[in-house]
């Protein structure tokens, strides 16, 4: 079976699985709606021309209340898994995740500062904008710290990312001490959540993610070559430093867009790419699209679980509770795959 056939087959299957998860998720809540009714509502909504008819209440619940949250969860899971694949390939380490260069910590500082210190961003940025800008500046700062004479060793970049994350963690702790009545809101954001999602939130990431994902798809061959080492990649005609800058920038923006709208959601960008690598192999030409689709389904499913109990909990708690034991299981059952 050719790579193209495998990619189309796996992508089609995962797309169908995502559609099924979306339909099931949209029917789950205080008011239960059968999957067939949900499917009819979705097919009768614009831009679909079919009109099956459904109770107005059910349509409002599905299209205006649940669907924005579900679509945002799919986009965020897609984004974090995409960035996770790129970072694991970039660092040639399956333990890498999207926040490894400090993007999530940078976003957290921007968001927490906006909540606790409204004057922190004089440009009048809202929480999402402040988190996004702070995340991008952090990633750029880590890159500058690690770069010497136009060369950016991945080991130096990794260590710089760890150091900056530690420092920003201290800044967040300091802000928490002075958060006062804002403490609950700050902690809720840091846990990662999708509550109160509107179509405007979806639009933010829907505009940023698709073009960057297509760009990263175009560089999957370069990611494969980089796994051989920088010297071999250079010998094979890859402009190593330029490619590294592009991959780092694109994955950082993707991660920043996701974290800015939902808060810090851990383990998605670590677990999903690693699990898919065990299934489809290390070739990024198939690993990137399949991981992205699997990540979308995973976050939709976990967020459905997060909001299905008597009390809604942040989805970041659920992803951590499920992701950590699963990763430990992988470690115990078989050695973590080397890239």
What is the pLDDT confidence band of residue 96, given thresholds at 50, 70 and 90?
A: confident
Contact 256, 136 (CB under 8 A): yes
What is the pLDDT confidence band of residue 232, given thresholds at 50, 70 and 90?
A: confident
Q: Which of 24-33, 144-153, 274-283, 293-302 has the highest mean pLDDT?
A: 293-302
What is the pLDDT confidence band of residue 174, given thresholds at 50, 70 and 90?
A: very high
Whether 338 is in a domain gets the answer no
pLDDT value for 268:
94
For residue 268, CA distances in Å to 75, 79, 80, 164 come to: 12, 10, 6, 22
Q: pTM for the whole thing? A: 0.92
CATH number at residue 30: 1.10.3470.10
Residue 42, Cβ density class (10 Å: 0-12 exposed, 13-18 middle, ≥19 buried) = buried
What is the pLDDT confidence band of residue 109, given thresholds at 50, 70 and 90?
A: very high
Whether 339 is in a domain gets the answer no
Whether 130 is in a domain gets the answer yes
Closest CA to 63 of 40, 87, 30: 40
123 versus 233: which is more confidently predicted? 233
Mean pLDDT in the chain? 89
In whole angstroms, give the CA distance from residue 206 to residue 208: 6
* 3-class DSSP assignment, residue 334: coil
Name the domain count of the chain.
1
The domain of 151 spans 3-333
Whether 177 is in a domain gets the answer yes
Contact 256, 132 (CB under 8 A): yes
pLDDT value for 49:
45
* 3-class DSSP assignment, residue 308: coil
pLDDT value for 95:
81
Residue 268, Cβ density class (10 Å: 0-12 exposed, 13-18 middle, ≥19 buried) = buried
Whether 82 is in a domain gets the answer yes
SS (H, E, C) 93-133: CCCCCCCCCCHHHHHHHHHHHHHHCHHHCCCCCCHHHHHHH
DSSP secondary structure letters along 136-192: HHHHHHHHHHH-BTTB--HHHHHHHHHHHHHHHHHHHHHHHHT-GGGHHHHHHHHH-
pLDDT over 70 (residue 203): yes
pLDDT value for 157:
93
Instruction: Report the length, in residues, of the chain.
Output: 339
pLDDT over 70 (residue 125): no
End-to-end CA distance of the chain: 22
């Amino acid at each position: 079976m050719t790579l193209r056939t495998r990619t189309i087959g796996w992508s089609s299957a995962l797309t169908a699985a995502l559609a099924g998860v979306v339909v099931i998720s949209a029917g789950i809540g205080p008011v239960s709606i059968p999957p067939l009714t949900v499917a009819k509502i979705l097919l009768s909504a614009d831009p679909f021309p079919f009109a099956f008819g459904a109770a107005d209440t059910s349509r409002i619940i599905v299209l205006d209340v649940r669907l924005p949250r579900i679509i945002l969860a799919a986009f965020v899971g897609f984004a974090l898994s995409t960035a996770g694949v790129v970072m694991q390939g970039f660092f040639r380490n399956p333990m890498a995740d999207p926040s490894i260069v400090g993007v999530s910590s940078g976003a957290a500082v921007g968001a927490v500062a906006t909540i606790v210190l409204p004057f922190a961003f004089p440009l009048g940025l809202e929480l999402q904008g402040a988190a996004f800008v702070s995340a991008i500046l952090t990633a750029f700062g880590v890159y500058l710290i690690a770069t010497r004479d136009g060369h950016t060793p991945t080991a130096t970049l990794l260590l710089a990312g760890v150091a900056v994350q530690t420092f920003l963690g201290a800044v967040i702790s300091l802000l928490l001490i002075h958060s006062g009545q804002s403490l609950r809101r700050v902690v809720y954001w840091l846990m990662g959540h999708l509550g109160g999602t509107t179509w405007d939130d979806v639009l933010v990431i829907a505009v940023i993610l698709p073009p960057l994902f297509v760009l990263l798809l175009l560089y999957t061959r370069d990611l494969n070559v980089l796994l051989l080492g920088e010297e071999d990649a250079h010998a094979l005609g890859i402009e190593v430093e330029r490619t590294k800058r592009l991959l780092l920038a694109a994955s950082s923006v993707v991660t920043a867009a996701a974290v800015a709208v939902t808060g810090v959601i851990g383990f998605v960008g670590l677990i999903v790419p690693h699990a898919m690598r065990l299934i489809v192999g290390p070739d990024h030409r198939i690993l990137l699209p399949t991981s992205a689709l699997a990540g979308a389904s995973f976050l939709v499913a976990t967020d459905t679980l997060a909001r299905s109990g008597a009390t809604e909990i942040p989805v970041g708690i659920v992803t951590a509770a499920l992701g950590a034991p699963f990763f430990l299981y992988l470690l115990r059952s078989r050695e973590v795959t080397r890239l």
